[in-house]
Amino acid sequence: MAEADGNGGLNRWSLEGMTALVTGGTKGLGHAVVEELAELGATVHTCSRNEAELNKCIHEWEIKGFKVSGSVCDASSRAEREKLMSNVSSLFNGKLNILINNVGTNVMKPTLEYNEEDFSFLMATNFESAYHLSQLAHPLLKTSGAASIVFMSSVAGVVSVEIGSIYAVTKGAMNQLAKNLACEWARDNIRANSVAPWAIKTPLAEPYLSDEKFSEEVRFRTPMGRAGEPKEVSSLVAFLCMPAASYITGQTICVDGGYTVNGFFFPRT
């Protein structure tokens, strides 16, 4: 692994001069991450299945002065993932500093009600996409000389949360993949970490947080007494990509207001 000062002269608290791919960057956590990385100086490429949504976001980012481009891509499709990485390689001259595997979705059912289609869809979208994109990105990440992969996981991959067993399995797999890649690819100067949020105010979480019972449970079980904001996750993602985090790899870091350390929490009065 590269020495701590082997960052090409980059400011250790900046992403200036770095290139990044963020999957699913037009809404929720992905959108927050794109903006965070761009604000810190990175040149970012993102993707979405929705072309109109992608174009709208890119236009807004251009107005803000961010260096962000985008591709239409269904990350659950192997062929489209290969096309995406080919585009990224061409755009960034065969080098990539940052890969954020953010794409994810959920179908919430009791375990006995899931069918084969549900399983295949969630595994392909949440886990297979991250696994394959990491494989495809490896040559670009290695060539950059100092690279970071961040998997957008969930506390559901760390502890039991009643939001669907298949979703939880995909997130647990992401956490383990980060550990394996951290060990396998350290020699290539590639770090890999996993970020595991709890309830965050995103479009994916909105149906749950709008449910009064679930929302009350979040407040009761979370020591900080609230759901999180996307920026409270994107800041950690950005830090893990900085030269300042050069000795952090193979970790699963929860961003959860204390949820996963709460054995039996008495709410504040």
What does the block give as tokens for 15? 């992403």
Q: What are residue 255's DSSP bridge partners?
A: 197
Instruction: Give how far the C-alpha of residue 237 lies from the chain's centroid of Cα atoms, to the nearest Å.
Output: 7
Antiparallel, parallel or unpaired: β 43-48 and 68-72? parallel
Alpha helices in 123-261 (DSSP H): 129-144, 165-184, 206-209, 212-221, 230-241
**Residue 259 among the catalytic residues:** no
Best CA proximity match to 252, nearest among 168, 139, 154, 130: 154
What residue type is assigned to position 169 of the chain? V
Q: 70 with 48: CB under 8 angstroms? A: yes
Q: 181 with 134: CB under 8 angstroms? A: yes
Best CA proximity match to 22, nearest among 62, 75, 83: 75
The span from the CA of 184 to the CA of 33, in Å, is 26
How many Cα atoms sit within 13 Å of 12 on the Cβ side? 7
Catalytic annotation, pick one of 114, 131, 167, 259: 167
Best CA proximity match to 199, nearest among 176, 175, 222, 171: 222
Best CA proximity match to 10, nearest among 148, 133, 121: 148
Best CA proximity match to 241, nearest among 152, 116, 172: 152
Question: What are the residue numbers of the active site?
Answer: 167
